[in-house]
Structure 1
Amino acid sequence: MRIKYIYQLFLSHISILIIAFLILSLLFAHYVENLVYENKVSELTEFGEQILDDFNQTGQEFVLAQYNNVLSSQNIYFSIFDQQGRIVYPLSPSSPRTRITEEDWNKLVSGEKVVTRHNIKWADQQVSLVAIPYIGRGGMIGGILLISPVSGSRQIISEMNQFLLYTVVIALSVSFLLSWILSKIHVNRIQKIRSATSKIAKGDYDAYIPASNFDEIAEMANDFNDMIDQLKSQNDEIDRLEKRRRQFIADVSHELRTPLTTISGVIEGLKNNMIADSEKEKGIQLVSQETKRLIRLVNENLDYERIRSNQLKLAKEKIQLKEVLEVIKDHLLYQAEEKGIELQIDVDEKSIVFADYDRLIQILINITKNSIQFTNQGSVWLRGSQTHHETIIEIEDTGIGIDKQEVESIWRRFYKADLSRTSTQFGEFGLGLSIVKRLVELHDGKITITSEKNKGTKFMIKLPTS
């Protein structure tokens, strides 16, 4: 059986209120009833003591008659009795009579007051009765008996209970309304969270909820919004990864297609004797170059994935920076001279770099190749210096430079600032600089680039000294 939460809240509130009002009403009615009867008994006792006192002082019967006239108007009657229990006032045959039980009489004889609230009948009606003894030197010499019908007290109690009922009805009505409103408010707040959850389930991550620190539901809304931010961030990351995956497949397919097409064409030509004997050696050499090109592409991709997934372990050590730059110069001197480029080294002999030797060589060769590739009849400088906290390596060329709009894009995988790079043998796949940046970051360093079109480019690497 399914019961809506608003009805559960409403019924729980109202049940508690009804039970509370019933208990309070019963206790209040009992208290009022006791209070009324206690006041009546107190009133009769006070009248009785006053009558005995005045009659004892005057001894005149007219005093009793005056009291009788006054009290009868208030529906109170009294009788004077002697030590044998006989009524001595009033002597009228119509005067009410009652019998005092033996137990009550013994109390009177011992000087105690006898009180009976409303459990006896007097002249066919329920009355409250008070009997007060008059004690002389020899003991009880008489007393006074006062009675008052219960109907007056019950009328007062009935009126008070009626007002109490009206109060309870009004209070319950107001409580019903407030409970319904409060239940509706709480349910609406929960409903907002439920609606937002449904939106998220459908892929809408903009389902934020108005939040505050008012209560636990508000705190839950804050946590819910934090969850949305995390889900949105994760979803954006998934989208970015998916775009990168698609772009990667497209780029790799594009890069593989050219050498594979060349290799396939040459092999088909050799197979079908479509290539002259004098050109066969040239075709075989072309297949060999394209095969090596494919191997370099696969190796660069493997390197990039190892670096990106933090599977690459560095063996850092202190290395003389001048020796490293001279190795780079010796390794690339032939390529530079072919393009009329002068390689120059400017480094402090005492400068030390704290890095993985093989990966540092890989970083510098990639950048220097890039500078050589985009420079003709110019210079490439390899500079190095050291401060207290870091080692600075600069590679600057006088090449064609890079547009400002493309400077930040060169770190992207497969990005090529110039389509002509596909025809060169160095860095033709657009993976070199992306690998360089990741390797520098693995060394806890930073790499920046400044470039001006047709004036040259400068790479700056900063590596911590320890």
Structure 2
Amino acid sequence: MKLQSQLNLAFSALLLVILTAAGFVTYSLILDMLIDDEKAELRQKGELLVEVINEQYGTLKNDQQLSDFLEEQNLQLFLYSRKQNSVLFYTMPRQFVEGFSKEDYFENKEEELWEIGNRKYVTSRILFYPESSGMELILLTPLNDLQKVQQDFFRRLLIVFIIGAIAAMMLSYFLTNKLVTPLSRLKHQLKKIEKRKFDDVEPINATGEIREVAESVYDMATELQRYMNTQQAFFQNASHELKTPLMTIQGYAEGIRDKVFDQADEEKGLEMMVTEVNRLKTIINEMILLAKLDSSQTEYQPETVRTSEMIQQVLDRTLPKVNEKGIELTYDEDPESTLFVDQEKLLRALLNITVNAIRHAPSRVNISVNGKTIIIEDDGDGVSEDLIPHIFHRFVKGKNGETGLGLAIARAIIEQSGGKITVDDSELGGAKFTIRFL
């Protein structure tokens, strides 16, 4: 069953339960309300009659005149004497007087709903003045009359309920259709993602949480497309980087096998093969490390470390390369700076960036620390504008680059450490790598 049908069915069931409960309660309350209103009306009529009788027939000696007056009122009533415990006058058939007397309704002052056979009556008792006279006027109204009014009112209310329910269901259909339509469109966009048609994915118009989900899906499609393109470029670059040393090794191996080279060239070929094997080993190890970092398979053990101590290790390990190239490596330290990171992994990232800077610097590399920010810059040629967006991708190499994996590894480690790395132009003239930690 579709979501829209489920929502409409649930709303209809809920509406039916609410209307049924409301109808049942209303039906009961209507009768109680009618009984209360009828009692009040009977009391009002009775008090008016008692007042007229007290004024015009105060002595109650003219029984015939009094009887004629009560008959003219066209009411169901009894004139009852408490002292005599007898009905002096009545406008209802005699069997009602006998039936009510048998049930002691006249003596029972608390009973306001009298019943005889299958008939019920609403009553109201009004005392004559003075109360010592013991005279009482009892007015009655058949409950059936009130029940007819109740049923007529409830039928009209039921019609209103039905019209309201139809209107509510139509509104529910409109609202659920408005709610479900973006979800249906979103489903079609997800199907496109499933079929890897990322270019065909379109944003949809929606509101609230559905809009947020739709935006997330669109962003996911964009990111997946970028990832797929990156992976494709990665395999192309990886095959190229691996193919070059393999071809070199194959060429020398076949030459040695076929006795093409003399003794000197053969020794040179063997050295070249060892060099290319070491290069292959380096590339493969870095690819494995990068794959582990991207898949979060490596164990990450953060601890609080002093930034100055870690930078000092970088200086110590890069000293041979600095001396070999004859450049100046300076360090602006912040003694109070600390970081909560995996020291060994972050040290690997800093070494990759620093070695990269040393490789491109003709005369100077500077490392500076300010709080949780580390800046590594050189006075080389810098990074070209078209290469900046891709410099941290795999196998993307600048001028004089080696494997094209060092900066990608550094980025993965820094992001895993909760930091962010960016590159722009340095005041020294070359590239400036800025690492910021939260």
TM-score range, shorter chain: 0.5 to 0.7
Using a 3 Å threshold, how does the CA distance of structure 1 residues 28 and 386 change in structure 2: closer, same or farther? closer
Match of 2:244 in 1: 258
Using a 3 Å threshold, how does the CA distance of structure 1 residues 274 and 182 change in structure 2: closer, same or farther? same
- Aligned letter for 2:207? P
Using a 3 Å threshold, how does the CA distance of structure 1 residues 247 and 27 change in structure 2: closer, same or farther? same
Match of 1:289 in 2: 275
Task: Identify the match of residue 23 of structure 1 among 7, 24, 28.
Answer: 28
Return the offset for 1:256.
1.0
Conserved 8 A contact 1:382-1:393: yes
- Aligned letter for 1:449? D
2 CA distance for matches of 1:145 and 1:402? 112
Return the offset for 1:251.
1.6
**Unaligned 5+ residue runs, structure 2?**
85-92, 192-200
| 1:210 corresponds to 2:207 | yes
Q: Secondary structure at the match of 1:411?
A: coil
Return the offset for 1:252.
0.8
Q: Secondary structure at the match of 1:382?
A: strand
Identity %: 20
Using a 3 Å threshold, how does the CA distance of structure 1 residues 329 and 45 change in structure 2: closer, same or farther? closer
Match of 2:388 in 1: 407
Task: Write the deviation string for residues 239-291 of structure 1: whole angstroms up to 9, x where unpaired.
Answer: 54444333322221121112212222332333344556664344334323322
Match of 2:358 in 1: 368
Using a 3 Å threshold, how does the CA distance of structure 1 residues 301 and 314 change in structure 2: closer, same or farther? farther
| 1:450 corresponds to 2:425 | yes
Match of 2:163 in 1: 177
- Aligned letter for 2:248? T
Task: Write the deviation string for residues 216-252 of structure 1: whole angstroms up to 9, x where unpaired.
Answer: xxxxxx4x55555556656655554444333322221
| 1:428 corresponds to 2:402 | yes
Match of 1:248 in 2: 234
Within a 5 Å distance, the mapping from 1:19-58 to structure 2 comes to 19-31=24-36, 34-35=39-40, 38=43, 42=47, 45-53=50-58
- Aligned letter for 1:459? K
Within a 5 Å distance, the mapping from 1:97-136 to structure 2 comes to none
Conserved 8 A contact 2:352-2:406: no
- Aligned letter for 2:23? I
1 CA distance for matches of 2:175 and 2:283? 57
Within a 5 Å distance, the mapping from 1:230-249 to structure 2 comes to 237-249=223-235
Using a 3 Å threshold, how does the CA distance of structure 1 residues 443 and 363 change in structure 2: closer, same or farther? farther
After TM superposition, the score normalised by the length of structure 2 is 0.62
Task: Write the deviation string for residues 51-97 of structure 1: whole angstroms up to 9, x where unpaired.
Answer: 542577xxxx7xx7876776665458999xxxx9xxxxxxxxxxx99
Match of 1:90 in 2: none
Q: Secondary structure at the match of 1:404?
A: coil
Task: Write the deviation string for residues 355-403 of structure 1: whole angstroms up to 9, x where unpaired.
Answer: 76776544422321133xxxxxxx3213456768877654212x4x543
2 CA distance for matches of 1:161 and 1:450? 92
Within a 5 Å distance, the mapping from 1:55-70 to structure 2 comes to none
Return the offset for 1:194.
4.8
Task: Write the deviation string for residues 13-38 of structure 1: whole angstroms up to 9, x where unpaired.
Answer: 33223323321333244445545655
Task: Write the deviation string for residues 101-155 of structure 1: whole angstroms up to 9, x where unpaired.
Answer: 8x98xx9xxxxx9xx99999xxxxx9x9x999999xxx99xx999999x8xx66x
2 CA distance for matches of 1:385 and 1:255? 34
Match of 1:215 in 2: none
Using a 3 Å threshold, how does the CA distance of structure 1 residues 52 and 97 change in structure 2: closer, same or farther? farther
1 CA distance for matches of 2:358 and 2:293? 21
Using a 3 Å threshold, how does the CA distance of structure 1 residues 47 and 147 change in structure 2: closer, same or farther? farther
Using a 3 Å threshold, how does the CA distance of structure 1 residues 50 and 226 change in structure 2: closer, same or farther? same
How well do the aligned residues superpose, as a CA RMSD in angstroms? 5.8
Using a 3 Å threshold, how does the CA distance of structure 1 residues 97 and 5 change in structure 2: closer, same or farther? closer
Deviates more, 1:2-11 or 1:284-293: 2-11
| 1:396 corresponds to 2:393 | no
2 CA distance for matches of 1:75 and 1:463? 99
Deviates more, 1:189-198 or 1:179-188: 189-198
2 CA distance for matches of 1:404 and 1:67? 117
**Unaligned 5+ residue runs, structure 1?**
85-95, 108-112, 121-125, 212-221, 337-342, 372-378, 422-426
- Aligned letter for 1:457? G
